[in-house]
Amino acid sequence: MSDLNFTKLSNMISVDLHHHPEAFDLELDSEGWVAVDDLLAALRSRRREWAQLCQDDLIAMMQAAGKQRYEIKEGRIRALYGHSVVDKIEKVAAEPPEMLYHGTDPAAAQIILSEGLKPMARQYVHHSTDVTTARMVGSRKSANPVILKVRALDAHRAGMLFYLGNEDIWLSDAVPPQFIEKAE
């Protein structure tokens, strides 16, 4: 489809797969999957210019994105992370890298250092695999984000569960403060 606005499409898919699938008669399974055809029908019904939207357009949008946020497999699509839907999306626990990073605003950093990382309005805490990504995420909340180091492997060995989001993002249920410190 020519002249497709990938940003607008991605934002709409985000609402559908991360936050409010029920608003568009979509039903995510326990791992967050929905049939590509169902998503396409929901998208086509909302925008006249998307009447011919197809799976190839979704794939082109995903390839053009800076981050891997969605996955298509066997006629189904899902968001890899960032869910705020009521029913928890099931993830498979995995051993994380030794260190992960979390970017946040200075006020939240003080709370996190004393109380730990919690998912807040999301289902999981998001961690970055590198400082650059953490700074980019944190800059959405503050012009001068604080970067926190998470000793993820130590936390994992102590019983905290971690899940792979994509090549740059890891998820966890929570991380106690003893595994978190300010990055230098």
Q: What does the pLDDT look like over 43-84, one tens digit per residue? A: 998 888 898 999 999 999 999 887 788 989 999 999 888 777
Which of 14-23, 27-36, 59-68, 93-102 has the highest mean predicted lDDT (pLDDT)? 93-102
117 inside domain:
yes
Tens digit of each residue's pLDDT (9 = 90 or more) over 141-180: 889 999 999 999 999 999 999 998 888 889 999 999 999 9
- Whether the model clears a pTM of 0.85, i.e. scores above it, the answer is no
Torsion of CA 165, 81, 178, 107, to 10 degrees: 130
* CATH code where residue 40 lies: 1.10.10.970
Per-residue pLDDT reduced to its tens digit, 125-140: 989 999 998 998 889 8
Rounded Cα gap, residues 184 and 88, in angstroms: 35
CATH number for position 155: 3.20.170.30
List the alpha helices (DSSP H) in 34-167: 36-46, 55-64, 106-115, 131-138, 152-157
Total tally of structural domains belonging to the chain: 2
Residue numbers of the domain that contains 48: 6-79
Residue 85, domain member (yes or no): no
**Residue 37 is assigned to a structural domain of this protein:** yes
Q: Is residue 87 included in any domain, yes or no?
A: no
Q: Are residues 104 and 73 in the same domain?
A: no
